[in-house]
Amino acid sequence: MATTTDIRKGIAVVHKGQTWVVIQAQFVSPGKGSAFTRVKLKNLQGGGNAEVTYKSGEAVETADVQNKRCQYMYNDGTNYYFMENDNFEQFSLDAESIGDYSKLMKDGTECYAMYIENKPVSIQLPPKMDFLVTFAEPGVKGDSATGAVKDCTIETGLNVKVPLFVNEGDIIKINTEDFTYVSKAN
Amino acid sequence: MIYDREIATERSYLSQKIREFFNENDFLEVETPIMTPIPGMEPHLTPFESDFTDPYGQKTTLYLNTSPELQMKKLLGAGFGNIYNITKVFRNGEVSGGRHNPEFTMLEWYRVNASYKDLMEDCENLIIDLADSPTLNFGEHSIDISKPWDHFTVNELFQKYCNIDLEQNKDFETLKKTAKKHDYNANGCNNWDDLFYKIFLNEIEPTLGFNKPIFVYDYPSSQAALSKKKADNPFWAERFELYIAGNEIANAYGELIDSKEQRTRLQEEQALRKKLNKPVFHIDEEFLTSLESITVPCAGIALGIDRLFMVLLNKKTIEEVLLFPLSKMLNNLNN
């Protein structure tokens, strides 16, 4: 058992007898009322999403899962292939299990894989990751009306909004929760 | 962090239009303090606190305002007439998930000789004016904002979505039994209001305001200590909330102007704060005295500017409409 304060993205919980992973947790306090925690869940046993609102402080049943360190290797368009760090065993997950993370996957990415009864079901990326900028419009644009922000493309193909000083070839940190720019990597 | 000039431009434009709207409708813009010695008593809010030290070393605790409501009503009592205010408010502990920032911008306005229903009309006129289009696009939703907007009482929504008549479930035990029959659990709920909201948040709120903005009105009086109870049924109070695209945008009251009743209800909130182990604040006596000089019905509303901008600018999170969201500033510290 856990309480709502332990609920965050990537935690597995039991809801209506099935195992779900939290994909988003949100604080809610309606009309100056008391606090609630609203979570978006992804079903790990058969797919589908659900939204549940818990009273803050309420006991929430966590699922019996194992987390193991692993490394992403490649995908063949349908499946994503990983290797466990401990025993070099390989496993794969389908695109649905990877979800939005597909936009951030690059060879060698270190992550955690979640297992239910020895079967891998999902992965969790580190909160921030470094990426190479493969395309960015040059430095300062003449058109100041577009503001201090421009688009760039990172090595995975994802487009991200960045400050004007970010250039092609730079390494930048991306928040893996909302896919936004954090800073230039040191 | 990225600082999006386009967002700053949109915010500036919308804020100016809001001021134009109220000035054209003969409201006076007033400013209220950010820091105050007596904060609002709302049982579930936690104000930030700090110490003021005078030149002789004497300390007084000051609180960052959770809402300018008490000050606004003092000005009503002083005969200011229709007033509005755009100010920063602060609520400790409220972060995460895209709809809360501990510091946010509140638009409050008050009408004299008016009821809370007049404020519904203000909301329609203001937001239609700001939107410049009969339809708001929000994610995959297309929201028709032409008048009239939807209106449902809280109890109508409970009957429509949950088949529960709250009139028949006015105490905690009864509501718990009914909830159980409907397979809603009361886990974590300590009182009637907790369970009310748990059902509301799970079964009703996620669907509100996706076709048209919706006014949800007549809330249980236990949840609105500064509002007037309904004359024909004091279980309910004159309060409404405006929802657009599942977002709670504004909260309005037919203002309670009976100072005796107001004192009793503030004392009840003091008791509840004590029970919840929260700091208990003094009753603002000047506020109660001010109410005595209000002789006509008044109505007031607080509208979360940042959430309104989210909906108007089609942004999914509050962080996207703020230049300096706290979550990002904190995240930046741990690079």
* Neighbouring C-beta atoms of residue B132, cutoff 10 Å: 8
User: What whole-number distance in Å separates Cα of residue A21 and Cα of residue A41?
Assistant: 6
Q: How many CA atoms lie within 13 A of B180 on its CB side?
A: 7
Which pLDDT band holds residue B335 (cuts at 50, 70, 90)?
A: low
CATH number, domain containing residue B132: 3.30.930.10
Which pLDDT band holds residue B191 (cuts at 50, 70, 90)?
A: very high
User: What whole-number distance in Å separates Cα of residue B325 and Cα of residue B335?
Assistant: 16
Mutate: best of A28, A128, A140, A177, partner B, most B CBs <10 A? A28
CA-nearest residue of chain B to A25?
B97
B195 belongs to a structural domain: no
A50 and chain B: CB distance < 8 Å anywhere? Answer: no
Residue A64 confidence (pLDDT): 87
* Closest in A30, A147, A148 to B201, CB measured: A30
DSSP at A143: -
Produce one character per residue of B172-211: b if its CB has 16 or more CB atoms within 10 Å, e if not. Answer: beebbebbeeeebbbebbeebbbbbbbbbbbbbbeebbbe
* Chain A residues touching B188 at Cβ < 8 A: 4, 54-59
B155 belongs to a structural domain: no
B20 belongs to a structural domain: yes
* Chain A residues touching B94 at Cβ < 8 A: 27, 29
| Residue A1 predicted with pLDDT over 80 | no
Q: pLDDT tens digits for A7-63?
A: 888 889 999 889 999 988 888 888 777 889 999 999 988 778 999 999 988 999 998
* Chain A residues touching B4 at Cβ < 8 A: 147-149, 161
Residue A23 confidence (pLDDT): 87
Which secondary-structure segment (H or E) carries A25?
A: strand A18-28
DSSP at A111: E
Residue A87 confidence (pLDDT): 92
The domain containing residue A77 runs over which residues? Answer: 66-124
CA-nearest residue of chain A to B67?
A32
B194 belongs to a structural domain: no
Question: Rounded mean pLDDT of A67-86?
Answer: 94
Listed residue (B111, B301, B174) closest to A31, CA to CA: B301
- Assess contact for A71 and A85: CB atoms under 8 A: yes
User: What whole-number distance in Å separates Cα of residue B233 and Cα of residue B221?
Assistant: 10
Which pLDDT band holds residue B322 (cuts at 50, 70, 90)?
A: very high
Q: Residues of chain A with pLDDT > 90: what percent?
A: 58
Cα separations in angstroms, B83 against A67, A91, B298: 57, 65, 11
A45 and chain B: CB distance < 8 Å anywhere? Answer: no
The order of strands in the sheet holding A79-84 is: A90-94, A79-84, A66-75, A110-116, A119-124
User: What whole-number distance in Å separates Cα of residue B268 and Cα of residue B257?
Assistant: 17
Residue A147 confidence (pLDDT): 61
Same domain, A109 and A73: yes
User: Across the interface, do B3 and A173 touch by the CB < 8 Å criterion?
Assistant: no
The domain containing residue B265 runs over which residues? Answer: 5-149+212-333
B172 belongs to a structural domain: no
Question: Rounded mean pLDDT of B105-131?
Answer: 97
Interchain CB contacts (distance < 8 Å): A and B: 109
Mutate: best of B101, B197, B222, partner A, most A CBs <10 A? B197
β partners of residue A62: A13
Is the peptide bond preceding residue B55 cis, with omega within 30 degrees of 0? no
User: What whole-number distance in Å separates Cα of residue B62 and Cα of residue B55?
Assistant: 16
Mean pLDDT of chain A: 88
Listed residue (A144, A177, A143, A174) closest to A159, CA to CA: A174
* Closest in B5, B188, B332 to A148, CB measured: B5
* Chain B residues touching A24 at Cβ < 8 A: 97
Mutate: best of A37, A55, A165, partner B, most B CBs <10 A? A55
* Closest in A28, A59, A148 to B201, CB measured: A28
Residue A139 confidence (pLDDT): 65
CATH number, domain containing residue A34: 2.30.30.30
Tokens 């003094």 map to which residue? B282
User: What whole-number distance in Å separates Cα of residue B232 and Cα of residue B230?
Assistant: 6
A33 and chain B: CB distance < 8 Å anywhere? Answer: yes
| Residue B152 predicted with pLDDT over 90 | yes
Same domain, A76 and A41: no
| Residue B262 predicted with pLDDT over 80 | yes
Q: How many CA atoms lie within 13 A of B203 on its CB side?
A: 20
- β-strands B214-220, B150-153: how paired? parallel
| Residue B76 predicted with pLDDT over 70 | yes
* Closest in B96, B331, B335 to A27, CB measured: B96
Question: Rounded mean pLDDT of B141-169?
Answer: 97
SS3 of B286-311? HHHHHHHCCCCCEEEEEEEHHHHHHH
Mutate: best of B201, B208, B265, partner A, most A CBs <10 A? B201
- Global ipTM: 0.86
Domain count, chain A: 3
B166 belongs to a structural domain: no
- Assess contact for A48 and A58: CB atoms under 8 A: no
CATH number, domain containing residue A177: 2.40.50.140
B29 belongs to a structural domain: yes
Question: Rounded mean pLDDT of B290-314?
Answer: 96
Question: Rounded mean pLDDT of B179-203?
Answer: 94
Question: Rounded mean pLDDT of A158-177?
Answer: 92
Residue B226 confidence (pLDDT): 87
B202 and chain A: CB distance < 8 Å anywhere? Answer: yes
Residue B87 confidence (pLDDT): 98
Which pLDDT band holds residue B108 (cuts at 50, 70, 90)?
A: very high
Q: Say how far residue B229 (Cα) sits from the centre of its chain.
A: 17
| Residue B179 predicted with pLDDT over 70 | yes
Domain count, chain B: 1
Same domain, A71 and A115: yes
Which pLDDT band holds residue A138 (cuts at 50, 70, 90)?
A: confident
Question: Rounded mean pLDDT of B47-67?
Answer: 96
Residue A141 confidence (pLDDT): 53
User: What whole-number distance in Å separates Cα of residue B317 and Cα of residue B311?
Assistant: 9
β partners of residue A22: A41
Q: What is the pTM of this model?
A: 0.90
Which secondary-structure segment (H or E) carries A136?
A: strand A128-136
